[in-house]
Amino acid sequence: MKRVTWLYVACCIALTAGCARKEGKVVARVGSETITTADLKAELNRMRRPPTERDVKRVLNKLITDAAFVAEAKKRGIDRRPEFVREVENYKKRLLMKLLNQEIMKSEARKTISEKELREYYEKNKNFYRARKTFVINHITAASEKLAKKIIKQWKKAKKADLRQIAKKLMQESPGKINITEREYVEVPSRKYGAEFSKELEKLHNGDVSKIIRGRDGRWHVVQVVSRRDIPERSFEQVKNNIKMRLMAQRRSAASTKFREELRKNYKPKIYDTILQEFIKNIAKAREKAPFTLPGLGKKKPPAARTPGVEKTPKKVIPGTPPSPPGPGRPLPSPRKGKEAPAPQK
């Protein structure tokens, strides 16, 4: 995908470069387009092995085809069309933002992180590096002990099948009295569910089902372990490099955010509210007439149907994980050549 994107960019640059002088000796000429040794070298440098004579000829044939596309596009005047000029300008803006952001990241990368800072972070987040047991469980809660016993009884009768399937069948007989949480992440000891729940969970391994546990909420709990992981305590030396990477990422993110705020202060953007409100009104009118003609502004699709009483827990966020440094944006996508979407099967 990256290669195709850069091919698109190369075509844009070639179309807008005009008669700019190219480096290297001319190897081939396609109409008004030339292919130089520098063009060949740039393509061959992307290979992960030393190129052979066959590779050189294959790359040259590809560049000739690309040059033919560019020459034909120029002949048809595509490089003078408003949509092309607009796409090139948009890409230039995004590329400038990306290169400026890279400069900021490089300046932050030169700064060192002291041993003292690393140890302070370790001590502050020591709870994250302690020994702990983690579980992914299917969690069933019932309104009565009798109902919880019935779930376990039928699970044993079904030769220890998936506990969720047993609970889902009983939900139809007792609506509103059973709740299922699928693939819930739990650490032991658990503050959420208490000591008794944690003590029972510690005894279990993959596939095991707990005894009936009376919860703090007054309901009766039964869990089945999907996976268990025992994590030993990690010393400072074991996680030192990991902490360094996290702190560097946090610094880069903070530096990027600070720089963006300073830019807005320095350039003092002025928003013309009258024009903006008029634009918003026009969009609202267009949405009412044709709700699906404006991407991202149409009517929301109805949520997918789900089984009542069945909950899916959100993805667990590990404490201490740094946020990814914000980027300036994605490059413009480009269509792939020579590949068509497969026809739908009847």
* Burial group, residue 309, by CB count within 10 angstroms (0-12, 13-18, 19+): middle
Q: Identify the weakest region by mean pLDDT among 176-190, 242-256, 282-296.
A: 282-296
Q: Which overall architecture, per CATH, does domain 132-231 show?
A: Roll (3.10)
Asked whether residue 156 carries a pLDDT value surpassing 70, the answer given is yes
Going by pLDDT thresholds of 50, 70 and 90, the confidence category of residue 316 is low
Going by pLDDT thresholds of 50, 70 and 90, the confidence category of residue 336 is very low
Cβ atoms 45, 56 nearer than 8 A? no
Query: What's the pLDDT at 190?
Result: 85
Tell me how many helices (H) and strands (E) the chain has: 10, 7
Q: Of residues 58 and 307, which shows the higher confidence score?
A: 58
Asked whether residue 15 carries a pLDDT value surpassing 60, the answer given is no
Asked whether residue 318 carries a pLDDT value surpassing 90, the answer given is no
Asked whether residue 132 carries a pLDDT value surpassing 70, the answer given is yes
Query: What's the pLDDT at 315?
Result: 54
The CA distance from 219 to 142, in Å, is 6
Query: What's the pLDDT at 321?
Result: 47
Task: For residue 91, give every residue at least 6 positions away whose Cβ sits within 8 Å of its Cβ, in sequence order, or none.
Answer: 9, 12, 331, 332
Three-state secondary-structure class, residue 160: coil
Task: State percent of the chain over pLDDT 70.
Answer: 77
103-114, pLDDT tens digit by residue?
A: 988 888 888 899
* Burial group, residue 44, by CB count within 10 angstroms (0-12, 13-18, 19+): middle
Residue whose token pair is 């560049």: 63
Once rounded to an integer, what is the mean pLDDT over residues 263-289? 90
CA 105: distance to chain centroid? 20
Residue 314 — φ and ψ, nearest 5°? -70, 160
Work out the angle at residue 73's Cα, subtended by the Cα atoms of residues 69 and 79, and round it to the nearest 5 degrees: 135
Going by pLDDT thresholds of 50, 70 and 90, the confidence category of residue 286 is confident
Residue 251 identity: R
Residue 19 identity: C
Rounded-to-10 torsion of CA 246, 248, 253, 255: 150
With b for 16 or more beta-carbon neighbours within 10 A and e for fewer, the 184-200 pattern comes to bbbebeeeebeeebbeb
Going by pLDDT thresholds of 50, 70 and 90, the confidence category of residue 21 is low
Q: Of residues 304 and 95, which shows the higher confidence score?
A: 95
Asked whether residue 343 carries a pLDDT value surpassing 70, the answer given is no
Going by pLDDT thresholds of 50, 70 and 90, the confidence category of residue 31 is confident
From the list 145, 142, 180, the residue with the least C-alpha distance to 163 is 180
Asked whether residue 319 carries a pLDDT value surpassing 70, the answer given is no
Asked whether residue 125 carries a pLDDT value surpassing 60, the answer given is yes
Asked whether residue 29 carries a pLDDT value surpassing 50, the answer given is yes
Query: What's the pLDDT at 80?
Result: 93
Write the DSSP assignment of 171-228 as a string of letters: HHHSTTSEEEEEEEEEEES-TTT-HHHHHHHHT--TT-B---EE-TTS-EEEEEEEEE
Going by pLDDT thresholds of 50, 70 and 90, the confidence category of residue 26 is very high
Query: What's the pLDDT at 120?
Result: 94
Once rounded to an integer, what is the mean pLDDT over residues 290-313? 55
Residue 138 identity: N
Once rounded to an integer, what is the mean pLDDT over residues 151-173? 86
Asked whether residue 305 carries a pLDDT value surpassing 50, the answer given is yes
The domain locations on the chain are 2-80, 132-231
Query: What's the pLDDT at 307?
Result: 57
Tokens of 119: 């140890």
Asked whether residue 337 carries a pLDDT value surpassing 90, the answer given is no
Q: Identify the weakest region by mean pLDDT among 196-205, 229-238, 268-277, 283-292.
A: 283-292
Q: Is the pTM of this model over 0.85?
A: no
Q: What is the mean pLDDT of the chain?
A: 81
Residue 289: count other Cβ atoms within 10 Å of its Cβ.
7
Give bridge partners of residue 30 from the DSSP assignment. Answer: 33
The CA distance from 144 to 220, in Å, is 6
* Burial group, residue 40, by CB count within 10 angstroms (0-12, 13-18, 19+): buried
Cβ atoms 96, 104 nearer than 8 A? no
Asked whether residue 324 carries a pLDDT value surpassing 80, the answer given is no
Query: What's the pLDDT at 211?
Result: 93
With b for 16 or more beta-carbon neighbours within 10 A and e for fewer, the 219-251 pattern comes to bbbbbbbbebeeeeeeeeeebeeebbebbbbeb
